[in-house]
Amino acid sequence: MKVFSGSSNKPLAEKVAGQLNTSLSPLEIFIFPDGERRVRVIDRVVEQDTVVIQSTSPNSDTAYMELFFIVDALKRSGAKSVTAVIPYLGYQRQDHVFRDGEAVSLEVIIETLESVGMNKLITFDLHSIKIPELFSIPIVHLSALPIFAEKIKEISSFSDGQSSHVLPDTVLVSPDMGGIRRIKILSEMLSDMPYISIVKDRDLETGNIKSNKIDTNLPDFKKEVKRAIIADDMISTGRTIDAAVDLLTEQGIEESVVFATHPVFSNDYKNILQNSKASKVFVTDTINVPDEKMFEKLEILSVAGEIAKELKATSH
Ligand code: R5P
């Protein structure tokens, strides 16, 4: 199996290759003065299984075009199969028509990936569980939740001398109703830790959050609860998280810790998150976060091990 990387998330691709005891196979990616890219496979890939790792953020359009060209180059060079590892699948939020007249961007992306020859997709924490149904090829939908569960145990456990338990004054929080399934799974991984959800109402035209309240149908929010662990699939501007932490603080929560799989990080996210009342923000490396995008409260957990495990399991 030969592993290739696009240019959007080389650090993750290198970690995956390292865990597979191999190194990345070289690709020539030439950028013309006008920004167009030319991709060339250098090694011989005839009749070989190949893997290409490419996140599609930031600069989704460029990252996707580069990925299309890499898959096409591998196929034209005789590769037996091309598995695309797209840890963050850009355009996934536009997976249906929300308002009359809109394009279904995700469908266009899927049709293009399939038509250039991608044979299989490995990805993480999709925004909706319906997305895999849109593909005609096999798709492996991995999750960062097991990594989050381990970290939550590490930061919220106490020992009674015999065994360790997760702190009883803690509640899991989904910052919107769309994330409730995710939070239930996390709760199961943490011995049924109580969970609640916030009901977020966002203006579809401006993206602004119109209102935020705790869903009173979920009974787990009790007065003795002092810590909240918020989990979401992605953080873009940080406004969802900031509004959730403010609401929880108003309700008497003393500490909020945030977990989100994809650090999409756009606009003023850095100031919003660093100045929010959250004590810590954990994300993963499904999207590369270069030094200049880091902030003090941020910690990055790696999904490289999960990708390597999946590739090892399917390469036999
Ligand atoms: C929305 O449904 C998603 O799960 C995230 O909550 C959202 O995309 C985060 O966006 P932002 O950080 O811009 O509020």
Catalytic residue among 120, 200, 270, 312: 200
Give mean pLDDT, residues 81-86. 98
State whether 256 and 194 are in the same domain. Answer: yes
Instruction: Give the residue from 49, 63, 204 showing the smallest Cα distance to 118.
Output: 49
Domain that holds residue 229: 145-285
> What atom of ligand 1 comes closest to residue 127's alpha carbon?
4
* CA gap 176, 109 in Å, rounded: 26
Residue 139 within a domain: yes
Q: What are phi and psi of 37, to 5 degrees?
A: -115, 145
> Is 312 one of the annotated active-site residues of the chain?
no
Residue 296 within a domain: no
Cβ atoms of 179 and 233 closer than 8 Å: yes
**Predicted pLDDT of residue 315:** 79
For residue 37, list its beta bridge partners. 31
Which domain CATH number covers 73? Answer: 3.40.50.2020
Query: Cβ < 6 Å from ligand 1: which residues?
Result: 175-176, 178-179, 232-240
Residue that the structure tokens 């005609």 belong to: 136
**Predicted pLDDT of residue 204:** 78
State whether 127 and 203 are in the same domain. Answer: no
State whether 101 and 163 are in the same domain. Answer: no
* Residue 233 three-state SS: strand
Q: Which residue owns the Cα nearest ligand 1 atom 9?
A: 235
Residue 30 within a domain: yes
State whether 237 and 262 are in the same domain. Answer: yes
* CA gap 264, 287 in Å, rounded: 7
State whether 138 and 149 are in the same domain. Answer: no
Give mean pLDDT, residues 171-197. 94
Give mean pLDDT, residues 37-55. 97
pLDDT value at 93 more than 70: yes
Residue 295 within a domain: no
Ligand 1 center to residue 54 CA distance, Å?
A: 22
State whether 6 and 136 are in the same domain. Answer: yes
Residue 266 within a domain: yes
State whether 55 and 154 are in the same domain. Answer: no
State whether 125 and 188 are in the same domain. Answer: no
To test the pocket of ligand 1, the residue of 174, 236, 264 to mutate (highest count of ligand atoms within 8 Å of its CB) is: 236
State whether 153 and 250 are in the same domain. Answer: yes
List, in order, residues 6 or more apart from 245 with CB less than 8 Å away: 228, 230, 256, 258, 276, 277, 278
> What atom of ligand 1 comes closest to residue 236's alpha carbon?
12
State whether 225 and 242 are in the same domain. Answer: yes
To test the pocket of ligand 1, the residue of 96, 198, 240, 281 to mutate (highest count of ligand atoms within 8 Å of its CB) is: 240
Instruction: Give the residue from 195, 193, 190, 179 showing the smallest Cα distance to 248.
Output: 195
Q: How many domains does the chain divide into?
A: 2
> What atom of ligand 1 comes closest to residue 264's alpha carbon?
12
pLDDT value at 122 more than 70: yes
Of 61-65, 76-80, 157-161, 209-213, the one with minimum mean pLDDT is: 157-161
Query: pTM to 2 decimals?
Result: 0.94
> What atom of ligand 1 comes closest to residue 234's alpha carbon?
5
State whether 136 and 154 are in the same domain. Answer: no
241-283 per-position pLDDT tens digit: 999 999 999 988 999 999 999 999 999 999 999 999 999 999 9
Pairing of strands 157-159, 120-124: unpaired
Q: What's the length of the chain?
A: 316
Residue 299 within a domain: no
DSSP H helices, 101-144, are 105-116
Q: Which residue owns the Cα nearest ligand 1 atom 14?
A: 240
Residue 219 within a domain: yes
Residue 254 within a domain: yes
**What's the farthest any 2 CA atoms get from each other in the chain?**
65
Q: Which residue owns the Cα nearest ligand 1 atom 4?
A: 233
